[in-house]
Chain A
Amino acid sequence: MSGGHSSYTPNSGIEKWFDARLPLPRLLYDSFVAYPVPRNLNYAYAFGGILAIMLVSQILTGVVLAMHYAASTGIAFNSVEKIMRDVNSGWLLRYLHSNGASMFFLAVYIHIFRGLYYGSYKAPRELLWILGVIILLLMMATAFMGYVLPWGQMSFWGATVITGFFTAFPIIGDPIQQLLLGGFAVDNPTLNRFFSLHYLLPFMIAGVVVLHVWALHVTGQTNPTGIEVKSKTDTVAFTPYATVKDAFGLVLFLILFAYFVFYLPNFMGHPDNYIQADSLKTPAHIVPEWYFLPFYAMLRAITFNIGPINSKLGGVLTMFGSIAILFLVPWLDTSKVRSAVYRPWYKLFFWIFVANAIMLGWLGSRPAEGLYVVFSQLGTAYYFGFFIVLMPLLGLVETPRRLPNSITEAVLAKTKGGGRPVGVTAAPETKG
């Protein structure tokens, strides 16, 4: 933790020269070499590093793609096809970028689920969690605007539907929508401002990521036991231990990424986006990208009016609420125990929450009719119920399992019998 003293000692002359003027090597050394991490981190903790790499990858491929892209309704679609056909390795850049967005979201969802499972949002890491939710929001805005740029049918109609959400708000709704669109319908001004913002937001994400990592390095990482680091034996140095473990996780993730880029590049896309945008032809089903589907399902689940709130506004509020509620998670969870490992009931409801999120995703891809709506409503109820009812309630009524005294104790209890002589570690109850 950065509260401790720096263990960096400049060896060479140039290091000393730098350290006296701009201690950047010291910062890097303390943050990524000597920085102590819990020794019991599993591969679920590799996704932070994976996300950092994905952000860099998206920015690098995106910057090159922007050199060949033209943000104008008349030529945007063809300029993307020019990248695919005539730019050297353009097909690779574009498939990396479009599939990279999907992989980015896959990784961020696993990262968030990991945080929910191990209680990573609990004090003193509330700000760390909130910064993460802000990154998620920025990612969603960036991805949505990026999907509009190829100017295909789904780009156009997705933009029409999503900006249309804002008209649900009374009085301020229409002005907001017109500001977003730069007019009264999705057109050239929309495409231009979306391109501008799509280029800007990733750098804002990078800024918040710096804060996110800073906050992480102040509080230190959580770990599967949820017990704070108490002694030096609880931790190992970031390098080489965490570096090599994260690197292995990253390469496995890259294998998945490459598999989609090279063998299934259009699996996550929609065929309609290979048809140029046409404001006179509405696609049969307008579907967002897969990573927005759970939220889309919740939007469409509200088919009824609630008092003065009509179903449209209700749906929009539900959708925005489903993200907004994440900001409150640190205070909704009343449990004194951090990790789900020691919370049998929370663990059960957590996995139901994961299954429910996947089900909502599938429902989001279905037409809003018949039983699909009923299931979407049940799914939405569970989504919110998990945060508003289960989280506060479980903390009060659940009896957690006995916690180990320290990370070291937990680790040794787990590996007991594995690396030690037989007899010494045999459990008393197996004797006689």
Chain B
Amino acid sequence: MKKILLGLAAAGLGTMLAFGTVATAEEAHNAAEPTHFPIKKPEEMNWTFAGPFGRYDKQQLQRGLKIYKEVCSACHSMNLVAFRSLAELGYSDAQIKAFAAEYEVPGEPNADGEPTTRKAIPADHFPSPYANPEAAAAANGGAVPPDFSLIAKARAVERGFPRFLIDIFTQYQEGGPDYIHALLTGFNETPPEGMQIPEGTHYNPFFIAAKSLKMAQPLQDGQVTYDDGSPQTLTQYSQDVAAFLMWAAEPHLEARKKTGFRVMLFLVLFAGLIYVAKRRIWSDVEH
């Protein structure tokens, strides 16, 4: 067994050396015409939901919802999230009912067969601000604003070697929120000299797919009024909305981590018991 472990270590070391050689041999980036995106890696923020005991901060999620509703939802749908699930943010049934009623959704056809709309109920999902994807594209210079239900899990900047291995031990799963925060706060940067920014797009070194994107800076300092006394700054807004979108993408994160703790505790104790039993059973056999 020791030899196997030693062998594994040797194999790992050899592989790492090979990795290093290849990685350093990668072509140097051209600052004006980069080929790999994003140009800058997102900063790792502190999230309350990170780590084995991570929990959502309900106050933060409520602030994030406010930003989504007042700013993002003008263009971005969130069609997998039902109003009823807002109960997890600490809202009462009556509050959710009132919240849902602010939205209009397609209703049943009337007696003459004409399409109607009605006020949304808690069972409805956040509706799209556009009638169809074509309308969304037309209103946004040809780019459909992505749906936000899963955006926090659908975007993550590649971590690279060896960080992706370290991530296993640090349980880093917050690439999505880190990316959202970086993107929202990254519009103020000026492009490097000589870089051509296509007409109708906005430079953002944190954008995952290109040097610039169709969306203009959506959030500014002081844009949304908080009623809980939190700072009304861009960086606070970006973190709040990123946390909210993480909840939207992974609503059962808390249950998962709580269950996980119990399961791990059980498995570790069980492993200890079996090990003791194994020692007893094998004590009369040399092996």
* Interface set of A (CB-CB < 8 Å, partner B): 39-44, 78, 81, 84-85, 91-92, 95, 117, 236, 240-241, 244-245, 247-248, 251-252, 254-255, 258-259, 261-267, 271-272, 274-275, 284, 341, 347, 351-352, 354-355, 358-359, 362-363, 366, 370-372, 375, 411-412, 415, 419
Contacts and interface: CB of A to CB of B under 8 A. Distances in A.
B249 interface: yes
Contact of B285 (A85, A241, A347): A241
A88 to B, nearest CB: 11
Contacts of A262: 256-257, 259-261, 263-264
Contact of A251 (B22, B271, B287): B271
13 contacts: A117-B4, A259-B264, A261-B260, A274-B154, A275-B154, A351-B14, A352-B14, A363-B22, A370-B25, A371-B25, A375-B18, A375-B22, A412-B286
Given A351-B14, A358-B12, A359-B19, 11 more contacts: A92-B256, A245-B278, A245-B282, A251-B274, A255-B268, A275-B150, A351-B7, A355-B12, A362-B15, A411-B287, A415-B286
A230 B99 CA distance: 78
Contacts of A117: 4
B150 A274 contact: yes
Contacts of A371: 22, 25-26
B80 A370 contact: no
B209 interface: yes
B23 to A, nearest CB: 9
B153 interface: yes
Contacts of A341: 3
A240 to B, nearest CB: 5
Contact of A267 (B167, B249, B278): B167
Contact of A355 (B15, B257, B281): B15
Interface in B145-195: 146, 149-150, 153-156, 161, 167-168, 171, 173, 175-176
Nearest to B146: A275
Contacts of B22: 363, 366, 371-372, 375
A101 B108 CA distance: 43
Secondary structure class of chain A's binding surface, majority of residues = helix
B142 interface: no
A255 B271 CA distance: 9
A271 B153 contact: yes
B228 interface: no
Interface in B235-287: 249, 251-252, 255-257, 259-261, 263-264, 267-268, 270-271, 274-275, 277-278, 281-282, 285-287
Secondary structure class of chain B's binding surface, majority of residues = helix
Contacts of A359: 15, 18-19
Contact of B252 (A41, A84, A354, A366): A84
Interface string B11-32: 1101100110010011100000
B183 to A, nearest CB: 14
Q: Ordered nearest first, which 6 A-B pairs have the shortest CB separation? A: A262-B260, A274-B154, A355-B11, A355-B14, A251-B271, A274-B150
B1 to A, nearest CB: 5
A347 B15 CA distance: 17
A248 B275 CA distance: 6
Given A43-B1, A241-B285, A354 B267 contact: no
B274 A271 contact: no
B6 to A, nearest CB: 9
A248 B171 contact: no
B161 A362 contact: yes
A81 B85 CA distance: 14
Given A251-B270, A355-B11, A271 B156 contact: yes
Contacts of A236: 285, 287
B10 interface: yes
Contacts of B146: 275
Contacts of B255: 91
B260 A258 contact: yes
B52 interface: yes
Given A251-B274, A266-B173, A354-B11, A85 B85 contact: yes
B239 to A, nearest CB: 20
A197 B275 CA distance: 40
Contacts of A252: 271
Contacts of B268: 255
Given A262-B259, A265-B256, A255 B264 contact: yes
Given A244-B274, A251-B270, A263 B260 contact: yes
Interface-centre pick from A251, A267, A354 (highest chain B CB count, 10 A): A251
Nearest to A39: B287
Nearest to B1: A42
Contacts of A372: 22
Nearest to A78: B80
Nearest to B6: A351
A244 B270 CA distance: 12
Nearest to B262: A262
Nearest to B10: A351
Given A261-B260, A263-B171, A355-B14, A241 B286 contact: no
